[in-house]
Amino acid sequence: MDGSKKSLSENNERILLRNRRSIDFSEAPLIMGILNSTPDSFFSESRSNGMGKEKAREIIDNGADILDIGGESTRPGSEYVSTEEELERVIPLIEAVRSFSDIPVSIDTRKKEVAKAALKAGADIINDISALMDDPEMADLAAEKDVPVILMHMRGNPKTMQKNPHYRDVINEIIDELEVSINNALKKGIKKEKIIIDPGIGFGKRFEDNLRIIHDLKKIKEIGFPLLMGLSRKSFIGEILKNTPGIEVANRLAGTITANVLSVLNGADILRVHDVGAARDMIKVIKAIGAEGNL
């Protein structure tokens, strides 16, 4: 990556949004609440199911710092949906949220046209699991609008990503590939202080890779950008707990909380979660004990 690596406090402790708002990482870890306007996301409780405004209000009332809205499932094996369908799913929901809240909103999409309409409707952040690679005009849009971007590490795409993923050195390979994505964003004119990174738990990763990412997260944090972790209720947690009765997706909360605690202690700045209230309680306990970053 161009230039020397910097700590978060030297680089982007605060990310500016439009309308004089910001994301303040001095209050980290922050909670990103998941709201899926989809019929097929892997955890049914994250789906809006026609009650998007009410679900959004619940997430915000439970203490979310950021609301992440998506209209296309990216679970393993999933297909793209059309731009038109994705727009129909997310734009009314963003507009509904903006009718009662100024919470920072991220749009979870790989499509420039969806991101453009979402920003116009009131979204603040582009959360692109392809790290701005799927749509060649996405980075140009982010630079033009001067909005923050979340660059996630993934190999392949959701349909193919879990078909025999392989790494020789998962942490260093993720770091190298994230730095390529960061440099691509910078070359397109996206400001360094508008970049957030995500190592992509469960996106083209083996079981052991997901565990290694959490264990060695401090090495990824050394890249010097705010670090998002999205591991809520994912299949690796079910695999760890496979001998526990009833450990389907709905019963992975305890495992999720444990993995998120370890992520926080290893430097995560944002936790993308389904269970906002439980995550907020977890963070209160960590801060009360004064354990952040001391693993």
pLDDT in tens, 41-98: 544 454 445 678 899 999 999 999 999 999 987 766 667 889 999 999 999 999 999 9
DSSP-assigned letter for residue 204:
S
The answer, yes or no, to whether residue 118 has pLDDT greater than 80, is: yes
Distance of alpha carbon 4 from the chain centroid: 25
DSSP 214-276: HHTHHHHHTT-S-BEE--TT-HHHHHHTTTSTT-SGGG-HHHHHHHHHHHHHTT-SEEEES-H
Confidence (pLDDT) at 77: 63
Confidence (pLDDT) at 81: 87
Q: Note whether residue 17 is domain-resident.
A: no
Chain segment 250-261, per-residue pLDDT in tens: 889 999 999 999
**CA atoms of 147 and 103, how far apart (whole Å):** 15
- Please state, for a pLDDT cut of 90, what percent of the chain lies above it: 74
CATH of the domain at 252: 3.20.20.20
Average pLDDT, integer, range 220-241: 95
Asked if 195 and 185 touch (Cβ cutoff 8 Å), the reply is yes
Average pLDDT, integer, range 158-167: 78
Measure the CA angle with vertex 11, ends 9 and 12; round to 5°: 80
How many Cα neighbours within 13 Å face the side chain of 220?
Answer: 31
The answer, yes or no, to whether residue 264 has pLDDT greater than 90, is: yes
Tell me if the bond preceding 76 is cis, omega within 30° of 0. Answer: no
Distance of alpha carbon 19 from the chain centroid: 23
Q: Note whether residue 7 is domain-resident.
A: no
| Average pLDDT in the chain | 89
The verdict on whether 234 is a catalytic residue reads yes
- For 43, phi then psi, to 5°, come to -110, 110
pTM value is 0.90
**CA atoms of 194 and 176, how far apart (whole Å):** 20
pLDDT band at 9 (very low <50, low <70, confident <90, very high): very low
Q: Note whether residue 6 is domain-resident.
A: no
Between residues 37 and 215, which one has the greater pLDDT?
A: 215
Confidence (pLDDT) at 46: 44
Q: Could you give the number of structural domains in the chain?
A: 1
> Quick check: helix, strand or coil at residue 127?
strand
Q: Considering 112, 194, 221, 272, which one is annotated as catalytic?
A: 272
**CA atoms of 224 and 247, how far apart (whole Å):** 36
Identify the domain containing residue 145 by its residue range: 28-289
Q: Note whether residue 12 is domain-resident.
A: no
Q: Burial level of 3, CB count in 10 A (0-12/13-18/19+)?
A: exposed
Between residues 45 and 132, which one has the greater pLDDT?
A: 132
Q: Note whether residue 295 is domain-resident.
A: no
> Quick check: helix, strand or coil at residue 172?
helix
Q: Note whether residue 8 is domain-resident.
A: no
Tell me if the bond preceding 165 is cis, omega within 30° of 0. Answer: no
Between residues 7 and 134, which one has the greater pLDDT?
A: 134
Confidence (pLDDT) at 159: 74
* β 195-198/228-229 pair status: unpaired
Report which of 169, 168, 197, 204 is spatially closest to residue 182, judged by C-alpha positions: 197
Q: Considering 188, 194, 234, 252, which one is annotated as catalytic?
A: 234
Structure tokens at 45: 């409780």
The answer, yes or no, to whether residue 221 has pLDDT greater than 70, is: yes
